[in-house]
């Protein structure tokens, strides 16, 4: 008999069904494996706060609870109630609450805070407040803290892998807990809004498990209005207020930004500046007399990745409470007319010099040792890419044409960088031959290899990108790669790789030139040539690499102007270094212009050959010195 009892476990008892009224009046009893949970119905709240004590707790009307409160002087009953709930949750950080208790507590907090008592129009602007406190900032911040602590209490560390969604009229919650071997995509959605987060990386730093909660609360914009963004522009809340948190994990440092896809509450009809913001709560500042400015919407750590008329993708380096605010007004436009004018003028000037350089490389009679293939096709690709960028805005409304232009621009940009790399490689090979005291017969690689690398690799990259994401080309503000699912790395990956290789080749080239430069110090004229060689190599490196790096630092207007001016003048720099500084080219120009050979030319320019000729001359000098009898 004892053995039989030990082998068979008794079936779970449904206490709620067997004992009607088990939790008392105005309550809901929920059965669970081995136990049961009690919670109050809507409009009622537990007499013991968020924690239910069996045979002690009763459900009381929220109005009766508020009526019985005697708050401290200077504080409303509502704020006292919210602060007490927040304090109880903070004192019990490890509690696990059933879904019924969480939704009832949060619904009660929202009702007490006054959420929903303001019209939709007032809520979108945040201009009117009728709840507890002077405005919605204080109570809104407390409600946010309460909501985060309550959803954290949904996570039971002993349960392992969990995917749970909770929907009520007031809130939507998406909860995910993963384990070390999880293959989940870590994408959580609530009310058309999505959060993409790398939970696997977090799990590796937290004993193999990690959890994330994504929620939105109806009416939170009535507490935390768009007017709390510190700006002179008109503001409008364009999305739900969403909250993202990492409950019950120790190491919350993100290994990469989190992406939020926010649905617009209305289809956009007029232009405006989309602003991804998070709620910054520095409560002590408001208490110290800054008029509540310690609590406001902030843009720090968040930026817009992509936006169209229906939704916006925001990327943030931290988790908090977020929203999308559209700014409109005289000072709001992202487009700076003067900056746009400078950009167009500089690009046109650069295109003129690109055209001059291309004609020069094609029509001039060059030293047979010099291979200008890389320079010519570098100029061609840059010329076409700058021209497309100049015309890009014209075709935004034509979806198919815009997609084709984006794909072509992708190809030209990658090809430009590869021709830059090939030009740097040509220079490196030139210096290597020079270091072996070898007079250069023909500069660099054969043309077939140059074309295979310069155009074959970009064609493969664009082809694979288009096959993987067919709708990845196009755009809302510019015809380019769409940023969804990190598609822009189809161009950022090759670009960063080429920039790194360019830097390495530059350093190795300068290092390889040391013996040659040392042998040239004894001759004054050769010393001038030495400085010219160094100048040309340095100028070429700056042209082919450094100007693009400025594109990564666009947070300030200074860097924007520097990038526009320097990057647009690559054609000018290339023309000056490889054409005007070349004696053969200047002689050709004089022939074309019908000038006499005795026309005045500065001495510093008369004997300025190409980089190849400079290095070839140095090689001959070294070879002659090496062949002299001792």
Residue 260 lies in a domain: yes
The residue ranges of DSSP E strands in 11-71, in sequence order, are 27-32, 35-40, 44-46, 59-61
Closest by CA to 360, choosing from 585, 582, 584, is: 585
Same domain, 52 and 136: no
* CA atoms of 143 and 133, how far apart (whole Å): 13
Block means of pLDDT (10 residues each) for the chain, 630 residues, are 38 79 89 86 91 90 91 88 92 88 90 63 38 66 90 82 86 85 77 89 80 88 86 86 88 83 80 86 54 76 83 88 80 62 90 93 72 87 90 73 89 92 84 60 72 95 89 74 74 87 84 68 54 66 67 64 84 86 81 59 45 53 50
State whether 466 and 488 are in the same domain.
Answer: yes
Structural domain ending residue among the three candidates 269, 299, 328 = 328
In terms of domains, do 429 and 534 share one? yes
Domain boundary among 328, 354, 371: 328
Flag whether 82 is in a domain. Answer: no
Whether residues 51 and 176 fall in one domain: no
Domain range holding 133?
114-328
| Domain presence at residue 458 | yes
CATH number for the domain that contains residue 411:
1.20.1070.10
Residue 475 lies in a domain: yes
The secondary structure element, H or E, covering residue 78 is: helix 77-91
Alpha carbon separation from 380 to 349, 359, 374, 383, 430 (Å, rounded): 15, 10, 10, 5, 23
Break the chain down into helix, strand, coil percent, rounded to 5: 50, 15, 35
> Do 309 and 348 belong to one domain?
no
Same domain, 530 and 430: yes
Quick check: is 362 in a domain? yes
Backbone angles phi, psi at 587, to 5 degrees: -60, -40
Strand, coil or helix: 36: strand
In a domain, 461, yes or no: yes
Whether residue 99 lies inside any domain: the answer is: no
CA distance 138 to 581: 67
Same domain as 299, residue 368: no
Are 401 and 519 part of one and the same domain? yes
Strand blocks (E) in 284-407: 295-298, 302-307, 311-316, 321-328
Same domain, 139 and 245: yes
Residue 493, classed as helix, strand or coil, is helix
Q: Are 306 and 157 found together in one domain?
A: yes
Q: Looking at the structure, tell me whether residues 292 and 364 fall in a common domain.
A: no
pLDDT value for 451: 93
Do residue 286 and residue 425 come from a single domain?
no
**What per-residue confidence (pLDDT) applies to 455?**
96
- Spatial distance between the Cα atoms of 445 and 430, rounded to a whole number of angstroms: 10
Question: What are the start-end ranges of the H helices in 155-240?
Answer: 199-204
Query: Is residue 311 in a domain?
Result: yes
Q: What span, in angstroms and rounded, lies between the C-alpha atoms of 31 and 146?
A: 26
**Domains contained in the chain, number:** 3
- CATH code of 282's domain: 2.60.220.50
Q: Name the DSSP class of 159.
A: G
Token pair 């664009």: residue: 462
pLDDT at 456: 95
Which of residues 64, 95, 112 is at a domain's end?
112
């Amino acid at each position: 008999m004892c053995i039989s009892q030990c082998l068979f476990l008794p079936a779970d008892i449904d206490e709620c069904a067997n004992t009607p009224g088990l939790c008392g009046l105005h309550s809901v009893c929920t059965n669970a494996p081995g136990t049961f949970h009690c919670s109050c119905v809507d409009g009622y709240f537990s007499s013991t706060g968020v924690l239910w004590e069996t045979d002690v707790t009763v459900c009381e009307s929220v109005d009766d609870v508020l009526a019985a409160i005697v708050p401290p002087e200077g504080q409303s009953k509502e704020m006292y109630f919210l602060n007490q709930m927040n304090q109880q949750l903070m004192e019990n950080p490890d509690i696990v609450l059933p879904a019924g208790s969480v939704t009832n507590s949060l619904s009660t907090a929202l009702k007490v805070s006054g959420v929903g008592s303001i019209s939709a129009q007032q809520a979108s602007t945040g201009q009117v407040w009728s709840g507890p406190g002077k405005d919605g900032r204080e109570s809104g911040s407390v409600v946010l803290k309460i909501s985060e602590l309550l959803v954290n209490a949904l996570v039971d560390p002993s349960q392992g892998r969990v995917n749970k969604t909770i929907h009520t009229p007031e809130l939507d919650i998406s909860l995910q807990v993963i384990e070390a071997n999880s293959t989940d995509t870590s994408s959580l959605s609530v009310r058309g809004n999505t959060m993409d987060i790398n939970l696997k990386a977090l799990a590796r730093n937290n004993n193999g498990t990690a959890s994330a909660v994504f929620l939105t609360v109806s009416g939170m914009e009535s507490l935390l209005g768009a007017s709390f963004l510190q700006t002179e522009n008109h503001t409008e809340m364009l999305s739900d207020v969403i909250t993202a948190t990492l409950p019950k994990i120790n190491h919350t440092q993100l290994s990469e930004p989190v992406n939020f896809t926010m649905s617009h509450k209305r289809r956009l009809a007029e232009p405006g500046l989309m602003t991804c913001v998070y709620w910054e709560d520095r409560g002590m500042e408001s208490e110290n007399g800054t008029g509540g400015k310690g609590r406001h919407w902030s843009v720090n750590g968040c930026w817009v990745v992509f936006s169209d008329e229906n939704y916006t993708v925001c990327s943030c380096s931290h988790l908090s409470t977020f929203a999308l605010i559209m700014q409109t007004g005289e000072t709001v436009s992202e487009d700076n007319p003067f900056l746009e004018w400078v950009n167009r003028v500089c690009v046109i000037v650069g295109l003129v010099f690109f055209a001059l350089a291309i004609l020069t490389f094609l029509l001039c009679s060059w030293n047979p040792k010099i291979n200008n293939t890389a320079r010519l096709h570098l100029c061609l690709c840059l010329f076409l890419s700058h021209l497309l960028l100049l015309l890009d805005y014209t075709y935004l409304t034509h979806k198919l044409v815009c997609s084709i232009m984006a794909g072509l621009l992708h190809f030209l940009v990658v090809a430009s960088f590869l021709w830059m790399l090939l030009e740097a490689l040509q220079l490196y090979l030139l210096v290597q031959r020079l270091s072996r005291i070898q007079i250069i017969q023909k500069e660099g690689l054969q043309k077939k290899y140059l074309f295979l690398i310069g155009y074959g690799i970009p064609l493969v990259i664009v082809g694979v990108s288009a096959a993987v994401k067919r709708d990845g080309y196009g755009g809302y503000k510019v015809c380019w790669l769409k940023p969804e699912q990190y598609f822009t790395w189809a161009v950022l990956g090759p670009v960063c790789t080429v920039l790194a290789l360019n830097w390495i080749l530059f350093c190795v080239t300068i290092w390889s030139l040391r013996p040659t430069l040392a042998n040239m110090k004894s001759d004054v004229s050769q010393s001038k040539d030495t400085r010219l060689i160094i100048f040309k190599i340095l100028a070429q490196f700056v042209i082919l690499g450094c100007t693009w790096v400025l594109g990564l630092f666009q947070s300030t207007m200074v860097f924007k102007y520097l990038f526009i001016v320097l990057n647009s003048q690559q054609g000018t720099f290339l023309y000056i270094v490889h054409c005007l500084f070349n004696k053969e080219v200047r002689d050709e120009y004089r022939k074309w212009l019908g000038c006499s050979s005795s026309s005045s030319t500065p001495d510093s320019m008369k004997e300025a050959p190409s980089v190849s000729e400079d290095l070839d001359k140095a090689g001959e000098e070294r070879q002659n010195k090496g062949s002299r009898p001792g």
